[in-house]
C-alpha cells in the first residue's frame, strides 16, 4: 500500500498492547511466515483468539507490508544509498509525491535539521545511482542532494529485541501495580 505524503506525515496513534498482543508480535518477529495455527500452538492460545487479535493488530497498523522482507540484491539492486534532499518547504507535499514515483526510492523520511528529506534508494551500480540522483535533482523545488553509500548492513531491520523490551516493561509494570 502506497501512502500519500499527507497520510505518511500523519502521526500514528500509539496503542497499548497487552501481553498477548506483544507475544503475537514477538512470534511474528521471530517467524514472519508463521500461520495462525502455528502461533496459536506456540503461544497456547486458540486459533480463533489469534485470528481475532491479528485482525485487530492489522487494522490498527501494527503490521507493515510484507515487501519490507524482499532482498533488493536478488532483484539486481545491490547498492543502497542514503540521499538527503533539501527542498523549498512550501512545495514539500508535491515533491514527496514526485519522489514516490521513482521506483528506486524504497523509503523516505521527513527530517528536522539541515536537510528536509532522507531518501533511501537502491541501485544497480554507481552509474544507476548517478541517474537516480539526477531524477531527484530534476524535480522542481529540489534545491540540492547529498549522497552517502551504504558500505554494508551491519544491523538488519529488526523489531524482536524492541518487542521483547516492551513486553518485559509491561510485565514489570503489571507486577508493580499488584
Distance from C-alpha of 47 to C-alpha of 116, rounded to nearest angstrom:
45
The reply to whether 46 and 29 lie within a common domain is yes
pLDDT tens string 26-69: 888 888 888 999 999 999 999 999 999 999 988 888 887 766 67
Same-domain status, 46 and 75: no
d(CA 63, CA 65): 7
Indicate whether 84 and 131 sit together in one domain: yes
pTM of the shown model: 0.76
Q: State residue 129's pLDDT score.
A: 98
35 and 83 both lie in a single domain: no
Using one digit for the tens of pLDDT, what is the confidence trace for 104-159?
999 999 999 999 999 999 999 999 999 999 999 999 999 999 999 999 999 988 88
38: CATH: 1.10.10.10
Q: Report the alpha-carbon distance of residue 69 to residue 168 in Å, rounded.
A: 26
* In a domain? residue 169: no
Say how far apart CA 96 and CA 170 lie, in whole Å: 37
Residue 17 has a pLDDT of 87
pLDDT score for 8: 52
143 and 79 inside one domain = yes
Q: How far is it, in rounded angstroms, from Cα 47 to Cα 45?
A: 6
Higher pLDDT, 178 or 128: 128
Please indicate, yes or no, whether residues 65 and 76 belong to a single structural domain of this protein: no
Q: Are residues 62 and 82 part of one domain? A: no
Beta strands of the chain (E only): which ranges?
79-87, 105-110, 117-123, 142-149
Cell (9 digits) for 13: 496513534
Residue 99's domain comprises 70-149
- Give me 71's grid cell: 532482498
Q: How do residues 60-111 score in pLDDT, each as one tens digit? A: 888 877 666 788 998 999 999 999 999 999 999 999 999 999 999 999 999 9
Are the C-beta atoms of 92 and 116 separated by less than 8 Å? yes
Length reported for the chain: 178
Mean pLDDT of 7-23: 72
β-sheet bridge partners, residue 105: 121
Residue 112: φ, ψ to 5°: -100, 160
Tally of domains in the chain: 2
Same domain, 30 and 59: yes
Considering the domain boundaries, does residue 78 fall inside one? Answer: yes
- Asked if 55 and 103 sit in the same domain, the reply is no
Amino acid at each position: 500500500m502506497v501512502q500519500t505524503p499527507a497520510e505518511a506525515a500523519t502521526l500514528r496513534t500509539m496503542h497499548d498492547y497487552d501481553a498477548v498482543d506483544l507475544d503475537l508480535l514477538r512470534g511474528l518477529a521471530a517467524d514472519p511466515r508463521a500461520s495462525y495455527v502455528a502461533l496459536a500452538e506456540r503461544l497456547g492460545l486458540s486459533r480463533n483468539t489469534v485470528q481475532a487479535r491479528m485482525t485487530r493488530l492489522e487494522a490498527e497498523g501494527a503490521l507493515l507490508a510484507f515487501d519490507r522482507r524482499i532482498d533488493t540484491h536478488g532483484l539486481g539492486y545491490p547498492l543502497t544509498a542514503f540521499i538527503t534532499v533539501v527542498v523549498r518547504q512550501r512545495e514539500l507535499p508535491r515533491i514527496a509525491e514526485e519522489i514516490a514515483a521513482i521506483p528506486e526510492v524504497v523509503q523516505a523520511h521527513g527530517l528536522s535539521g539541515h536537510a528536509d528529506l532522507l531518501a533511501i534508494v537502491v541501485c544497480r551500480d554507481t552509474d544507476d545511482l548517478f541517474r537516480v540522483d539526477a531524477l531527484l535533482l530534476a524535480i522542481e523545488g529540489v534545491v540540492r542532494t547529498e549522497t552517502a553509500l551504504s558500505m554494508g548492513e551491519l544491523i538488519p531491520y529488526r523489531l524482536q529485541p524492541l518487542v521483547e523490551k516492551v513486553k518485559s516493561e509491561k510485565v514489570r509494570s503489571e507486577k508493580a501495580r499488584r
